Amino acid sequence: MSGTVLDGKRISREIQEELRSRIAALAAKHRPPALAVVRVGDNPASEIYVRNKIKACHDLGIRSIEITPPGNVSTSELIETLQPLTADASVDGILIQMPLPAQIDSDLVTSVVVDPVRDVDGFGVHSLGRLVLNEPAPRACTPAGILELLKRYRIPIAGRHAVVVGRSNIVGKPMALLLLHENATVTICHSKTPNLAEECRRADILIAAIGKPAAITASHIKPGAVVIDVGMNRIADRETVHGLFTHDPARLAAFEKNGSTLVGDVEPRAMQELSSAYTPVPGGVGPLTIAMLMANTVQIAETRLAC
């Protein structure tokens, strides 16, 4: 058996195309939606993520503002620097790109700078609390994108057993809550879970979000399960890469050319051969995160401008 590929790129394009008419309506009646992204320092991964977010805004007609304080800024200096942004009513969504440098109190900065109405990432206490109650608020982008993917591929959720491996506030916890609100029976697993493979094998829908390359293996996957791989781990060890991608000559050739490759949290061959459907890495969950960020920005703008 070889699972159906759940094409996150295609679903991301669908979502963004559906936003265009809403953005045009806002621009015609009021103004375009606006998203501010704060990137502190020169973290290479953050630079790539922010560049992709700014590009998506540009492509859709969302006004983007990028603020780039230096990496040695203190917590108080950063809050002061961002004060004009906090007071700018023309900005609909505010995103603080994580991780922030170690000397900065991330929770304090986020709570002071990003008010609940403009929490476009859906990570704040207010947004997460409303998620628990299943009330409207911006949803964390990656879990919201996964839910869209499942629905658009018509994968049943209600009555299914979903296992989420990972308990972060960014993916694991909100993902579990979203599935629960869709009437799945949900198990959350983590680093302290005994018999992890046994728990995972009970899953009709298995979502891996633990940040460890290929940690979920064939022994964790029930044949026919839907497997959602949230991981994005860059590996450069030749022996490891050849062990994981013996079935994929194109990936091995790309590795030899580039010197590294991306692997998710699930062993790729096991995921492909045992699942009924799965998300590839790359091209699965990643594109959905940006699409849902754009959707959150538009939704916030619609709500604010309707007041």
Active site residues: 53, 97, 121
With b meaning 16 or more CB within 10 Å and e meaning fewer, what string describes 31-58? ebbbbbbbbbbebeebeebbeebbebbe
E strand spans, the chain: 4-5, 34-38, 63-67, 93-96, 161-165, 185-189, 205-208, 226-229, 233-235, 261-263, 277-278
Q: How far apart are CA 33 and CA 301, in angstroms?
A: 5
Half-sphere exposure of 41 (CA within 13 A, CB side): 16
CA distances from 254 to 225, 248, 269 (A): 29, 10, 17
Half-sphere exposure of 38 (CA within 13 A, CB side): 30
CA distances from 264 to 4, 47, 161, 208 (A): 17, 21, 22, 9
CB 119 within 8 A of CB 126: yes
CB 176 within 8 A of CB 188: yes
Residue with tokens 């299943």: 134
